[in-house]
Chain A
Amino acid sequence: MELLYGSQGSQKTQSGYINMLNNSKQQNFSTLRFATKDFKPPKYMHCHDRHTTKIWQTAMESDRVQWIIQQVVREESKSEEDVKQEAEHILKELAFTDHMTILRMLGYVLFKVLHSIYHDGVFINIETVKKLKDMIKHHPVVFMPSHRSYMDFTILSVVCFYLDLPLPAIAAGMDFMGMKVMGSVLRACGAFYMRRSFGTDRLYWALFTEYVHTILINGDRPMEFFIEGTRSRCGKSLNPKFGLLSVIAEPYLKAQTYDVLLIPISISYDRLLEEGLYGYELLGIPKPKESTSGLVKASSILRDNYGSVHVNFCDHISLRKYFGHLDRAVHACYPRYMLRLSSEEQKYMEILGYKIVLQQQHNMNYTPWAVMALVLSQHPHGMDMGCLIEETIWLKIIMDKCKIKVNWSTGSVQDIVQANLKKFKHLIEVEGPCNDVPKSIVRVSGITHEVKGHKTFSSNLDPTTIQETVNHIIIGNYRNQLLHHFVRPSLIAFSLLRRSGRSCPGTQFNPDTLLPDFKFLRDLLVREFIFEPKKLNDDLKQGLQFLVQCNAVVLEGFNSFILEKQANKLLQFLKSIFSVFLGGYWLTIQFLLNSTETHLQPTLPGKVQKWIAGILRNPGVEHEMLSLHMISNALHALVGLGYLSVYRVDNQKIVQPIQDQLVGAASKIAQFIDIPYLDGTQATKLGSTAAKL
């Protein structure tokens, strides 16, 4: 993607973007006029107009649903009448409605809200949208936004309304439906509700599938769903979910539509509304149930400035083009309503999922604050301002070289840093002489404003630990936004530094020798970052390219690289960013090795967390390692690698460590990082607590 910013980088003149809010102010376009504006979106050419009730009725009458109903009747010996009633009930619970008046009213409110919280604007890359408008006429489209915030779908709907794009039908989680009033309001605006898991309920699955299909095939509205499945609480993209993607792709694969266009959309926020909530959630404090009153209470947040939002419509992916090499005639010899995808189709579906997430990642916009968070998280105990500024500048140079686009606003980096410290003063404290700025100490603030609704007592952690950890987690989350750019070169850095601890300029290496280390680390972090399956070599190549672009290595001969003088600083930096993950993983393995009790899968991460909290003061143990997300990623990765086995006893999933493998993994990790300190008693203690239980 081209650099979308003018070299001056002024937010007001971002080339290729329009500011939805700013624009309207200039034209004296009042909120009221926004809400009452003409709305004439383009329409899919084969779309037959129909009422929203007709949509779910069509799903009800579909061959698939009728077939499943007959199955259920036969196999569960229920009466047909009952099953049909159940089906209708499910559909009504599912379906969206269409009330332009409610929508305009909501539009009015939302537009006002957006104005009041996003002082810097909501930016949209308008050129792609223009192309999109034409495509919508020819093919059904699916919006696939990244998911970082509740604001994602509200912003997207308002943007669609603003740009005269058809309003999407949004596959939303059930939790919203529970909200009084708001549940129905959202429904009136195109949200339809899906249960989080319905893998086994065939009737529900059939109804949901057909409901999505009929909307997609007739093109009543663009479909919108989140490929990550849920909001990412940690700033990074989540691994894609394939269930809904398969549902979306099925009509094309079975030739019910000519094509389906997927539009990945990257929505990036300067500052997340949920930053605090996520911090607590990652520590295991349950999120408050979505409720309208909660929403009203949360409206206190509306007084703050949350900077700007960037909505980036990415280039479309045509399923026809993507699956073009597969012969759809494989589906000709059985009824189309039976869900069967060929193994080839499943394979490419998975790759498609990764492709979408990678594209979303690629089109994110970053703020200087994320860069600062990256620096700050390397210094959990604080650093002086001069150092912060210096390292931020150094990183800016690196990122410029690698064409990672960051919205550096006008002014010197020093000004930008100080402005951002002010903006995020709720997370960061600055201590020291006002007159001697460079000497003042910047550190993560240990004082948090407890978020209402959080029940800290239900946590494994004591309130003080939570208090001092949560801001570290939040800052880590901002840093996480950037990490996918660095992860591949960093895995190379680990490998290069493993032998000597530091890199000597002039050292020559063959990338093939890096492969075993690279593979080990990539397999380990596969849950943490997005790696397209079976693309090991490509990932390695990308990592090397990064290093080449930063002038850390140069290609020498056919397949050999030489380390440059300045390589060491970059390699050490790359290593230190990701050490926290490897450290957390190492600790998780230590817990598993030393604990003798039986572990149930759902409660295991909490136990690990509790144990780590107990050794939080040990050198090398960091606050971030308390993140349940990190711990469960570690556990999943270990299961995936076959270092842990999971089996079922009486409907409970038991996790069984495989000692040899874990020991091997731990010692291997220890070669890459300075492992956290663990004295003998702590390990033994672990054993004895377990023995007591």
Chain B
Amino acid sequence: MNPATNQISKEKARLDTIARHIQPKAEKPKLVTSTCISMSNENIVKPGIRSIPRKREEVLKLHGWGYNDSQFKMNEKGVITFTGSKYKLSGMVMPQLRPWMTETIGIEVDETSESIKNIDLSKIPKPIVNEEFTNELSKTGMEISTDPMDRLVRSHGHTLEELFLLRKGETNKRIPDMIVFPRNHDDVVKLVALAVRYNICLIPIGGGTTVTLALVCPENEERCIATVDMTQMNQILWVDEKNLLARIEAGIIGQDLERDLAAIGLCTGHEPDSMEFSSLGGWVATRASGMKKNVYGNIEDLLVHVRMVTPRGVLEKNCMVPRMSAGPDLHQFILGSEGTLGIITEVTLRVRPLPECQRYGSIVFPNFARGVECLREVALNRCAPASIRLMDNQQFRFGQALKPESEGIFSSFIDGMKKFYVTKIKGYDPANMCVATLLFEGDPTVVAQQEKAVYEIAAKYQGMPAGEDNGQRGYMLTFVIAYLRDIGFDYEVVSESFETSVPWDRVTDLCRNVKDRIHHECINQGVRYPVMSTCRVTQTYDAGACVYFYLAFKYRGLADPVKSYLAVENAARDEILANGGSISHHHGVGKLRKQYMSRTVTDAAVGTIKSVKEYLDPRNIFGSGNLV
């Protein structure tokens, strides 16, 4: 395929995806009426564009987030722009962003830290090769690669320390020795069998968006490490409309899955913020959570059937039922196994007809605590829209700083905002107020009822509707925020996000205490510039919420910025646990938070996980070292 045309069509697809987030569906989606449930209905779902090619570095950045062409960049006038053409924000100029970054984090135009453009591939660690294994494997017809670039791009995820290293042109001491590209479930069965026979260490990789060091190869691993790139297993195998099920290969990337399903009027509704790049198998392996879980559920709610190839054989259920009472649910051991037990090959998810109606909304609150109380009551009354998110004051102001020069949909927003300020916002202290963004989805009448209910509750907590545009913008920014870390790096800023889940009564205290802890720890670490620590509530449940923290500081003057950063993040995590929060809501444990597992569950629980691992994988073939 010609990469150029491929690129263009991909961009178009990307725009389409985003368009779905920001525009109500104009026409009623056509429903596919097929009732066939056999294995031979592959033709129903036409495989569309695949976002991540075999050579992912052709499209994706080598040492940063996302697409090659998309990044925040300071232009010659000293104004920050967003480059590329894939996003609504692409090509726009954000005049307020640099002053904001100077004020809140202390960046200076002439204090920069460029990343090494091209990594010297000759310096990449030599692979440990197991020739017998390679020979046997090549007989199966699977693609095998020992190309240094292939190995490099699959050796890391997106934690701060990994990217910091890559930007310096360095790699970990140990990276995958070879990459295997299985084509289907049977390939994986063969692969695992051979790995057992030749004692090979296997590490599965999907989109590679992990932020828990899950892909890092254990330094002391002396066996050959074969990283299993699942992205070539990216087909929707079949769709069963009667039972609203779809069987999908685990390597499919989120946006491809949704696009293909949308073509036949369906969706899974699972939209994690990383859905452009992360894979279905990765979602299952880390217990992912989607933005619209209030309507569609989290991955564990969507999952009806899953196949995992382990050294003991394939672990799966022999029926495909909505629920069953047959001892502990084995799916719960596969969900969150983080590549330590086997390779997830095929997943059967619930699917839903595409929603008829999508509406955005936003509410301003005088302060964060009131906002939390409102979200809690919304959750209590079970009238939460598909997504409801509450940003704290600093993020609210950050959102303002991201305002582009008036153009397109943004001009109306700004006008709306101005009017809004003049007429309504009096009495709100800009230093305390915060905003909640809403996304309603579903049947128009239901959406209308929900809107009414939510705004009524908001009024009780001095929350005022602040317009549809504001909400729409918030969700659009979701996808570009991840790109901000890279421009931060350029100006000597380290930044990271991390998340937790916490009972309602502790949300406000936890947010305040963790932010305080971050500030105190940054001072301890000798940070000389203002620290940004901000949070938002991104998910609501009956019993609590998911909270996301963003943390950024300029490291100029620190001997070891990564070490300092880790000290701050660990302090923050310690505070989270002390405040009754969890180790993670959906990022998982990996190797980054392994040290907290013993504080999160009891010894007996850790032992249970270990003994399951011991049974399924006694030789530690899946030796990524994640979790416990």
Contacts and interface: CB of A to CB of B under 8 A. Distances in A.
Q: Which interface residue of B509, B510, B517 has the most chain A CB atoms within 10 A?
A: B509
Given A327-B599, A329-B578, A329-B580, A258 B517 contact: yes
B513 A255 contact: yes
B510 A336 contact: no
B595 to A, nearest CB: 14
B509 A255 contact: yes
Interface in A305-364: 327-329, 331-332, 335-336
Contacts of B505: 63, 335-336
B201 interface: no
A237 B506 CA distance: 39
A256 interface: yes
Contacts of A196: none
Q: Is the interface of A mostly helix, strand, loop or mixed?
A: loop
Interface string B348-390: 0000000000000000000100000000000000000000000
Interface in A231-273: 255-258
A327 B578 contact: yes
A327 B598 CA distance: 13
Contacts, number: 33
A425 interface: no
A255 B579 contact: yes
A57 to B, nearest CB: 15
Nearest to A337: B505
Contacts of A331: 580
A685 interface: no
Interface residues of A, number: 14
A332 B509 contact: no
A653 interface: no
A45 to B, nearest CB: 9
A256 B513 CA distance: 8
A332 B513 contact: no
B580 A258 contact: no
B443 interface: no
Contacts of A327: 577-578, 599
A130 interface: no
Q: Which interface residue of A46, A329, A335 has the most chain B CB atoms within 10 A?
A: A329
A12 B484 CA distance: 62
A63 B504 CA distance: 12
Given A255-B578, A255-B579, A255-B580, A329 B599 contact: yes
A256 B578 contact: no
A255 B506 CA distance: 8
A46 B579 contact: no
B42 interface: no
A221 B506 CA distance: 23
Interface string B501-543: 0000110011011001100000000000000000000000000
Nearest to A333: B580
A46 B509 CA distance: 11
A332 B580 contact: yes
Contacts of A256: 509
Interface size class of B (residues with CB under 8 A): 10 to 19
B531 to A, nearest CB: 14
A332 B516 CA distance: 20
Given A335-B505, A336-B505, A255 B599 contact: no
Interface in B538-583: 577-580
B578 A258 contact: no
A258 B518 CA distance: 11
Interface in A489-509: none
Nearest to B508: A256
A326 to B, nearest CB: 9
Contacts of A257: 509, 513
Given A327-B578, A328-B578, A258 B513 contact: yes
Nearest to B510: A255
B624 to A, nearest CB: 27
Contacts of A332: 577, 580
Contacts of B579: 255, 328
Contacts of B510: 255
A328 B509 CA distance: 14
A103 B351 CA distance: 68
A209 to B, nearest CB: 16
Nearest to B366: A48
B578 A46 contact: no
Nearest to A45: B516
Given A327-B578, A328-B578, A336-B505, A258 B599 contact: no
A63 B578 CA distance: 20
Nearest to A336: B505
A258 B505 CA distance: 16
A256 B369 CA distance: 13
Contacts of B517: 258
Given A327-B599, A329-B599, A336-B506, A258 B577 contact: no
Q: Which interface residue of B367, B509, B516, B578 has the most chain A CB atoms within 10 A?
A: B578
Given A327-B599, A329-B580, A258 B506 contact: no
A135 to B, nearest CB: 13
A134 to B, nearest CB: 13
Interface in B123-182: none
Given A258-B512, A258-B513, A258-B517, A329 B577 contact: yes
Nearest to B517: A258
Contacts of B367: 48
Interface string B578-598: 111000000000000000000
A48 B369 CA distance: 11
A371 B75 CA distance: 78
A643 B619 CA distance: 66
A374 B578 CA distance: 51
A46 B513 CA distance: 10
A65 to B, nearest CB: 14
Interface string B247-269: 00000000000000000000000
B582 to A, nearest CB: 9
Contacts of A255: 506, 509-510, 513, 578-580
A557 to B, nearest CB: 44
Interface string B478-513: 000000000000000000000000000110011011
Contacts of B580: 255, 329, 331-332, 336
Contacts of B513: 255, 257-258
A503 to B, nearest CB: 53
Contact of B516 (A258, A328, A329, A335): A258
Nearest to B578: A328
A328 B367 CA distance: 27
A472 B541 CA distance: 70
A329 B577 CA distance: 6
A447 B516 CA distance: 62
B511 to A, nearest CB: 11
Interface string A129-157: 00000000000000000000000000000
Contacts of B599: 327, 329
Contacts of B509: 255-257
Nearest to A253: B578
A327 B574 CA distance: 9
Interface in A22-71: 46, 48, 63
A614 B580 CA distance: 64
A499 B579 CA distance: 58
Nearest to B514: A258
B147 to A, nearest CB: 46
5 contacts: A255-B578, A256-B509, A258-B516, A328-B579, A332-B580
Sort A-B residue pairs by CB-CB distance and give the 10 closest, nearest first: A332-B580, A328-B578, A255-B579, A258-B516, A258-B513, A329-B577, A256-B509, A255-B578, A329-B578, A255-B509
Interface of B: 367, 505-506, 509-510, 512-513, 516-517, 577-580, 599
Interface of A: 46, 48, 63, 255-258, 327-329, 331-332, 335-336
Given A48-B367, A63-B505, A329-B577, 7 more contacts: A255-B510, A255-B580, A257-B509, A327-B599, A328-B578, A329-B599, A336-B580
